[in-house]
């Protein structure tokens, strides 16, 4: 993992693809970390470039020839690894892994606080206006399956998906160790409602969740409670003027990359999950994830 350093007055050079529909948000995130971000589809010398909006492997290689660190989509990362490329210049784009509640769950699991994981529920729902200009929910399903696998620390072995209306999916993902992840993903909420993005994890010794308790909307952090007390943990970077939680996930990911604390190995899982998702959506039946063992 690379550490870009935080030397005073040290500005980094970043590149975001012109074709990236989220380029405005991404350049804003880079600027927050003292980076001069150029919007360009052409490779040039830089500290970091985000080409994750493109699934062109040759383009990723062209940028890697001139850029110190290249952020690629999981699909491109898998293809580069399969082709035997030197992966030291690449990191996969997994903003969901930078979700604050995910980090907290993994910290608790590493400390063996809640016991063994038994299941989890992921809710990612929003009004259609929030989804405008972002990747479709269907194209992001492999990301949520990857997220469930990342949280549990084990691979997905089977996927069952059921369409809910035109723009919604309910899913059951079976992970190794008989852990079950329930997914509710859609862009069908009424426009009057705020997006719903919650993670609820169940363990043999309790529950870890960022879901509101008794109507408490903990938008700016996580409410942690047990039988003895409760406390509210706010986000680490409250000076970030993000406009949406999805944007904030990208911001956190970039911060972790610059700090040398972002680990995103190319496992090839994206390709396996994408194929299984397509088949599960088509058939409505449980589909095995190839190579998951």
User: What is residue 174's predicted lDDT score, i.e. its pLDDT?
Assistant: 97
SS3 161: strand
User: What is residue 188's predicted lDDT score, i.e. its pLDDT?
Assistant: 82
User: DSSP assignment, residue 94?
Assistant: -
pLDDT 10s digit of each residue in the chain, 293 long? Answer: 444 544 545 789 999 999 998 899 999 999 999 999 999 999 999 999 999 999 999 999 999 999 999 999 988 988 998 899 998 999 999 888 888 889 889 999 999 999 999 999 999 988 888 767 666 666 778 889 999 999 999 999 999 999 877 778 999 999 999 999 999 998 888 888 878 889 999 999 988 888 765 444 444 455 566 667 666 555 554 444 545 667 788 998 999 999 988 876 666 676 678 889 989 999 989 999 975 54
Domain assignments of the chain as residue spans, ordered by start: 12-93, 101-234+272-283
Instruction: Quote the pTM value.
Output: 0.80
User: What is residue 30's predicted lDDT score, i.e. its pLDDT?
Assistant: 96
Let me know if domain 101-234+272-283 sits in CATH 3.30.360.10. yes
User: What is residue 167's predicted lDDT score, i.e. its pLDDT?
Assistant: 78
Q: How far is Cα 171 from Cα 145, in angstroms, rounded to an integer?
A: 9
User: What is residue 5's predicted lDDT score, i.e. its pLDDT?
Assistant: 47
Q: Which residue's entry shows tokens 């830089």?
A: 46
Question: CA torsion 73→75→77→82, rounded to 10°?
Answer: -170
**Is the separation of the CB atoms in 150 and 74 below 8 Å?**
no
């Amino acid at each position: 993992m690379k550490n870009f350093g935080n030397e005073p007055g040290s500005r980094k050079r970043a590149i975001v693809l012109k074709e990236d529909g989220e380029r405005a948000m991404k350049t804003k995130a880079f600027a927050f970390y003292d980076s001069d971000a150029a919007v360009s589809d052409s490779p040039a010398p830089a500290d970091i470039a985000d080409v994750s909006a493109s699934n062109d492997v040759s383009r990723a290689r062209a940028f890697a020839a001139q850029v110190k660190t290249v952020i690629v989509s999981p699909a491109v990362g898998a293809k580069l690894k399969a082709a035997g490329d030197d992966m030291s210049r690449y990191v996969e784009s997994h903003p969901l892994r930078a979700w604050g509640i995910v980090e907290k769950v993994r910290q608790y699991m590493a400390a063996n606080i809640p016991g063994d994981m038994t299941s989890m529920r992921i809710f990612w729902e929003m009004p259609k206006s929030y989804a405008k200009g972002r990747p479709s929910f269907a194209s992001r399903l492999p990301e949520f399956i990857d997220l469930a696998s990342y949280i549990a620390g084990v691979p997905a072995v089977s996927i069952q998906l059921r369409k809910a209306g035109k723009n919604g999916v309910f899913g059951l993902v079976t992970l190794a160790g008989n852990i079950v992840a329930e997914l509710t993903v859609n862009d069908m909420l009424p426009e009057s409602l705020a997006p719903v993005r919650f993670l609820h994890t169940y363990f043999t010794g309790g529950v870890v969740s960022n879901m509101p308790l008794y109507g408490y909307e903990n938008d700016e952090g996580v409410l942690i409670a047990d039988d003895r007390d409760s406390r509210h943990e706010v986000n680490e970077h409250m000076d970030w003027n993000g406009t949406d939680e999805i944007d904030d996930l990208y911001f956190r990911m970039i911060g972790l990359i610059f700090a040398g604390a972002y680990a995103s190995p190319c496992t090839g899982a994206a390709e396996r999950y994408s194929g299984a998702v397509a088949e599960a959506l088509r058939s409505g039946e449980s589909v095995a994830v190839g190579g998951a063992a």
